[in-house]
Amino acid sequence: MKLPRITILATLLLTAPAAAQLQITPPAATPSPSAEKAKEKPKATPHTITKKKEASPAPKPSASPKPASTPAPAATVIPAPPTDNSNVDLVFGAYQRGQYKTAFDLATARAQTGDIKAMTMLGELYSNAMGIRRDYAKALEWYKRASDAGDREAMFALAMLRISGRGGSVDKSEAVKLMASAAKLGEPKAAYNLALLYLDGQTLPQDVKRSAELLRQAADAGLPEAQYALATFYKEGTGVPKDPERAVRLLQAASLTDNVDAEVEYAIALFNGTGTPKNQPAAVALLRKASRQGSAIAQNRLAWVLINGMGTSVDKVEGFKWHLVAKTAGKGDPELDKQLSDLPAEDRGKAEAAARKWLGTK
């Protein structure tokens, strides 16, 4: 069975900085004739659009808001603390307002009384240098205390530190145990990351069926990255029976959270009527949205539909604008280059100016 070519940045939503990201790429399999055909250059027609599978962007969770080196693609998301403890609510409230020093002081006081949520918060603050100097050793200490007390988020955070070697030596075996424990307690990020390890087949024996089960657990909990990855499994028949309709439902759910990869796949499914009734205007709207979010694949597909009037009115200037923007991201298209060279000089100039404006104001 050919595994889907998914390159996944499995990043800690709660604590891990960008520099501690875990990169997992499934091993390549011998492609089947149908897979080789799928890699051929997509041909746009008035009826269908396709996406090059090898060019698919990776589904990825959001990074921490205070990465060590690179900007985070989204804000940190941590579950709200128990509502029956007003002191913990004060800690969480200060954290949400960006008052990290206050959150640190409040959490320190609460942690001394044995409050495990406050311990987990201290691990978060130490790990990401929020209100205090970054100290992975102390972050690991607080996460371990909370983990030993049964906090699933601390278990997952500790697992990510162990697998990256931050705060101590790399210990993949302990990391896997912690992830498994957190997943059993219902932590979706742990289930998702554990699924990636089973898919990768390096840290754990490759088991696509177990990977699919864990992705389903995380997807059912609402994690968009898991919904997108599981949709790919159903689309390809990896670890589960092929089910285009279920794949589309998962893509739709993930796209509602602004997951750009899911938006592109869902748009293509809507445009072609694959696993869902055809709705080209809705598909074009999604391609526009994903293009504005920076997806070069969406920009290339949007260029095609605008230039050829596929599901929308013809707009060659706007279409070639997106073609030029996509080209700067490495998603050029020789056929569109040829059509651009045939465009009247005035319209070509407008498209080039529009592309420069877009690229200059991103």
Residue 271 within any structural domain of the chain = no
pLDDT of 67 > 80? The answer is: no
109 lies in a domain? yes
Torsion of Cα atoms, 148 then 153 then 156 then 161, to 10° = -80
Residue 113 lies in a domain: yes
- Fill in the amino acid letter for 24: I
- Write out the residue range of the structural domain in which residue 97 sits: 1-27+58-206
Tell me the Ramachandran region of residue 7: left when phi exceeds 0, alpha when psi lies from -120 to 50, beta otherwise. Answer: beta
Most confident of 23-37, 62-76, 216-230: 216-230
Residue 116 maps to a domain: yes
Q: Is the pLDDT of residue 73 over 70?
A: no
CA distance 230 to 39: 21
Query: SS3 of 9, please?
Result: strand
Residue 304's nearest CA partner among 320, 317, 290, 292 is: 320
The CATH number that applies at residue 96 is: 1.25.40.10
Q: How many CB atoms lie within 10 A of CB 260?
A: 23
Q: Which residue has the higher pLDDT, 60 or 310?
A: 310
Check residue 361 and give its pLDDT. 73
pLDDT of residue 87: 55
The total number of residues shown for the chain amounts to: 362
pLDDT (mean) for 160-164? 96
Taking alpha carbons only, the member of 178, 173, 134, 133 closest to residue 154 is: 178
Helix (H/G/I), strand (E/B), else coil: 63: coil
- Does the residue 70 lie in any domain? yes
Whole-angstrom distance, CA of residue 267 vs CA of residue 284: 7
What integer best gives the mean pLDDT of the chain?
A: 81
If one counts the domains in the chain, the total is: 1
Q: pTM of this prediction?
A: 0.76
The candidate with the shortest Cα–Cα distance to 180, out of 162, 164, 166, 168, is 162
Please determine, for residue 107, whether its predicted confidence score (pLDDT) is greater than 60. yes
Q: Give the model's pLDDT for residue 88.
A: 56
Q: Is the pLDDT of residue 270 over 60?
A: yes
Look at 31-40, 212-221, 243-252, 296-305 and tell me which has the smallest mean pLDDT.
31-40
Number of H helices, E strands in the chain: 17, 2
Residue 266 lies in a domain: no
What is the spatial distance between Cα 291 and Cα 298, in angstroms, rounded to a whole number? 5
Model confidence at 319: pLDDT above 90: yes
pLDDT of residue 60: 39
Asked if residue 268 is part of any domain, the answer here is: no
Q: What pLDDT, on the 0 to 100 scale, is given for residue 95?
A: 94
pLDDT mean over 271-284 = 97
pLDDT at 201: 93
Cα(148)–Cα(154) distance, integer angstroms: 9
Closest by CA to 194, choosing from 208, 173, 209, 180, is 180
- Cα angle value 106/112/115 (rounded, 5°): 80
- The 10 Å CB-count burial string (b at 16+, else e) for 283-310 is bbbbbbbbbeeebbbbbbbbbbbbbbeb
d(C-alpha 143, C-alpha 305), whole Å: 50
Arithmetic mean of pLDDT, 81-103:
77
Whether 314 has a pLDDT exceeding 90, the answer reads: yes
Residue 157 lies in a domain: yes
pLDDT (tens digit, 9 = 90+) per residue, 334-361?
999 999 999 999 999 999 999 999 999 7
CA 240 to chain centre: 21
- Residue 323 in contact with residue 291, Cβ under 8 Å? no
Contact criterion met (CB below 8 Å) for 268 and 301: yes
- Residues 140 and 158 sit within 8 Å (Cβ to Cβ): yes
Region of poorest pLDDT, from 9-13, 176-180, 214-218:
9-13
